[in-house]
Amino acid sequence: MTGIHTLLIANRGEIARRIIRTAREMGIRTVAVYADADRTAPHVREADVAVPLRGDTVADTYLDVTQLLDAAAWQGADAVHPGYGFLAERAPFARAVVDAGLQWVGPPPEAITTLGDKLRARALAATIDIPVLPGAVLGTDHVDAWHSLADEIGFPLMVKAAAGGGGRGMRVVDDAGALADAVAAAGREALAAFGDATVYLERLVRAPRHVEVQIVADRHGTVLHLGERECSIQRRHQKLIEEAPSPSLDDATRADIAAAAVRLAAEVGYESLGTVEVLVDDRSAEPTWWFLEMNTRIQVEHPVTEAVYGVDLVRLQLEVAGGQALR
């Protein structure tokens, strides 16, 4: 038993269907939500009950916290699963769910605030001796200050959106002459996509391996890793292929990265699923790696780990949210 009897799924599409499938196997009643344009979508048919959302845009429907909580209350839900995307990594939504007396199927709001923010996560990683690439926040509009920071970091470098994801708000800068335009373009894209124009600089690693460690943790202090996935094959910074285990890691590097991922999660009292991403330079005699970011949610790519380990990660999420211990 999970302690969860009725689950509202604050999402749509594939991930909503994925959650419904496991919840049904566990005997949990499911509540779907849908905008009018999605009224014939499969997740609406497959849930035990579906609640319409008023509005014509994503902001007015799937991002409307009040409507989502009203739907949960109306249907007697005792838990909310955010899926991925939409509100999944929004700490205020997690806090609103908890304050409403519901189980949040995800990490604590405080953990999302710390690890879901790229800059805060980088700072925390550095304080517990997890390697990070040299970088700096651009906290001024003075181009001279940008150039000074860039010179300290060294070219080539990357301009990255602090609130970014999905390859948006990112620009490669090979020399000082391209810096100002790259910062402006990344800031505009970040503002449009995430509502936050804050960008930072980070040293660029040419052709790195991109590796991510799957974490699961419970409220009793246990943090485990379920190996890693490699997602180095990308297009425009978006992952195309995931494979597990990574074919590019030796045993020592694999163990080092996994231990660091567990340590980072434990540092903030993490619960639920999460993914710690790192960059690996495997072209040198001794492989070098750096912390990149943490995704404080279930990832699109989670079935790769499920196939390798023979586990149901959504079931683990629901069991942990209901108070069960991993050990």
Residues of the chain with pLDDT under 70: 1, 140-141, 285-287
> 282 with 250: CB under 8 angstroms?
no
Any idea which fold 135-203 has?
Dna Ligase; domain 1 (3.30.1490)
pLDDT, residue 137, reads 85
Residues of the chain with CATH 3.40.50.20: 6-105
Starting at the earlier edge strand, list the strands of the sheet with 272-281: 223-230, 209-217, 272-281, 288-295
Instruction: Give the pLDDT score at 62.
Output: 97
Class of domain 113-131+206-321: alpha beta
* Token couple for 298: 């279930």
φ, ψ (nearest 5 deg) of residue 60: -85, -10
Stated pTM of the model: 0.92
Q: Where in the chain is the domain with CATH 3.30.1490.20?
A: 135-203
- Please choose, from the candidates 131, 150, 134, the residue with its C-alpha nearest in 3D space to the C-alpha of residue 142: 150
Interatomic CA distance for residues 31 and 5, integer angstroms:
11
Q: How high is the pLDDT of residue 193? A: 78
Q: Which fold has domain 6-105?
A: Rossmann fold (3.40.50)
Q: Give the number of other Cβ atoms within 10 Å of residue 59's Cβ.
A: 9
Q: How far apart are CA 170 and CA 163, in angstroms?
A: 11
> Residues spanned by CATH 3.30.470.20 within the chain?
113-131+206-321
Per-residue tokens: 158 = 């990357």
SS3 label, residue 235: strand
